[in-house]
Structure 1
Amino acid sequence: MFKTLQVFSVLGIPVHVTTNYPGWLIECLQESRGTHVVTLNAEMTMQAEQNPILAEVIQKADLVIPDGAGVVLYLRWLFWQKVERCPGIELAETLLQEIGKHLTDTKVFFYGGAPEVAAKAAEFWQQEIPSLNLVGNYSGYHTPEVEAQLKQRLTQLQPQVIFVGLGVPRQELWIAQNRHLCPDAIWIGVGGSFDIWSGTKSRAPAWLGNNNLEWLYRLYQEPWRWRRMLALPQFAVKAFIYRFTARGAI
């Protein structure tokens, strides 16, 4: 019996709320229920508003979690929901730990990141959890020929959990286009998680994350992102207007 998901709308984008996202995904895994997981933040929401194809992909996703502080604050302040932020990297880590300890036959695959990043991330997790069944990894930078090899490899291996770190919106679009290769798998867009796991970059200190300021640390690390960060105040204004001019609950 699958755990209940409440669904709310943020600028027309669904957000699924539950008390146990990892448990929900474990049930999907045990039942071979193919699942596309989207980790939604304010920036992605604004991109979806400008990109109808991305918006459609998110609408069709099986689980859209409140990853970003803006999405969480929206649900708290305007829907009075006791929603906790669920960072995609933490969801992925919890899922890996559960699989490595209790579902060791589950095949896991990493795809994305700069050359060698996915391989280093896989090496990190293999050292952390030796029983984890990591069956393959591919960089996100490659030729069309290598892309064809990747798809053939996925088809042959049929991993049950596939982490895709290509950035937004590329990872969401790629998953939607290729889910048919492993229809029973859980597909999760993990953004820059491979960079963190490989040691290429560091995550924000916990106190920043606890105060919804992780985006500030990311801007410090990647100052070139400042234009993209303009989406945050735009999201705040649009979300407030949308809540009081349209139905916010689905």
Structure 2
Amino acid sequence: MENNRVKSPEPAQVLDLPVHLCDDYPGWLLHLLREKRGAHVVTLNAEMTMQAREHPALAEAIRRADLVIPDGSGVVLYLQWQGYQIQRFPGIELAQTLLYRLPEFSLSEGVSRGVFFYGGEPGVAQDAAQMWRQQCPDLAIAVQHGYLSEDEQDNLLDTLKEKQPHLIYVGLGVPRQELWIAQHRCLCPGSIWIGVGGSFDIWAGRKDRAPVWLRDRHLEWVYRLYQEPSRWRRMLALPRFAWLSFTQSF
């Protein structure tokens, strides 16, 4: 299916996981909202790919997602090696673009169901939402931190079911956020659900993104390791991904 401007995403494969290739990911998702169709969006990188090989439930959630975008440099380089013309599209940039475009979309559609931020430490999602309210005063954002009791979790699900937000951003970390979305997306079938990892921390000013010159050289992981040295064990997934990609290619 196509609208006048946006071509349907085309599937590719990275180590047995799907990645969807599209010229305009935000435009495609807004097209789905116009059609009153929701989506589970996964932002795939090398670390998540390796986790999925050891976590069958995560692999299944990725395969069942409606849109898997090339978030990580390893995924992009793998696909370029396979001959695809593709550029990296970080999940945080997809999430930001949708937030900028949602007020105009809501105005054109005559309805505003707003945005929901769920996850992070107490206060982080609230600060992230406040930053976005300053950037986009017409953006209605509700928030809930990620440290909930069982009763609070039930209340959250009731709230989502009642509000039916256009966008639901879940920042619980991988694989928890992907599994949580896969389990609960049926509550808001017309919403766009995205696992946004640490984006709330960046929007709230708790952390910084890597400088553009590092991002452009596929070295954002170096800056993350500099900010959080404790990530070094997780970063071991990167050479494992590279070696597996090389050996499977031959």
TM-score category (smaller protein): over 0.9
Where in structure 1 are there 5+ consecutive unaligned residues?
245-250
Matched residue of 1:200: which SS?
coil
Letter in 1 for 2:121: A
Report the Cα distance in structure 2 between the residues aligned to 1:29 and 1:106, rounded to whole angstroms.
Answer: 11
Report the Cα distance in structure 1 between the residues aligned to 2:62 and 2:135, rounded to whole angstroms.
Answer: 32
Report the Cα distance in structure 2 between the residues aligned to 1:116 and 1:29, rounded to whole angstroms.
Answer: 29
Partner of 1:115 in structure 2?
A: 122
Partner of 1:142 in structure 2?
A: 148
Letter in 2 for 1:120: D
Answer yes or no: is the 8 Å Cα contact 1:204–1:214 preserved in 2: yes
Per-residue CA deviations over 1:38-65 (Å, capped at 9, x if unaligned) read 0000000000000011000000000000
Matched residue of 2:31: which SS?
helix
Residue 88 of structure 1, aligned match among 91, 101, 108: 91
Answer yes or no: is the 8 Å Cα contact 1:99–1:106 preserved in 2: no
Matched residue of 1:140: which SS?
coil
Letter in 2 for 1:32: K
Report the Cα distance in structure 1 between the residues aligned to 2:165 and 2:128, rounded to whole angstroms.
Answer: 17
Answer yes or no: is the 8 Å Cα contact 1:39–1:189 preserved in 2: yes
Per-residue CA deviations over 1:182-228 (Å, capped at 9, x if unaligned) read 11111000000000000011111111101110011000111001011
Report the Cα distance in structure 2 between the residues aligned to 1:121 and 1:231, rounded to whole angstroms.
Answer: 29
* 1:2-81 to 2 correspondences below 5 Å: 2=2, 3-77=7-81, 79-81=82-84
Partner of 1:196 in structure 2?
A: 202
Residue 230 of structure 1, aligned match among 233, 236, 239: 236
Q: TM-score, normalised by structure 1?
A: 0.94
Answer yes or no: is the 8 Å Cα contact 1:101–1:131 preserved in 2: no
Count residues in correspondence: 242
Answer yes or no: is the 8 Å Cα contact 2:113–2:164 preserved in 1: no
Matched residue of 1:202: which SS?
coil
Report the Cα distance in structure 2 between the residues aligned to 1:240 and 1:32, rounded to whole angstroms.
Answer: 41
Report the Cα distance in structure 2 between the residues aligned to 1:137 and 1:216, rounded to whole angstroms.
Answer: 31
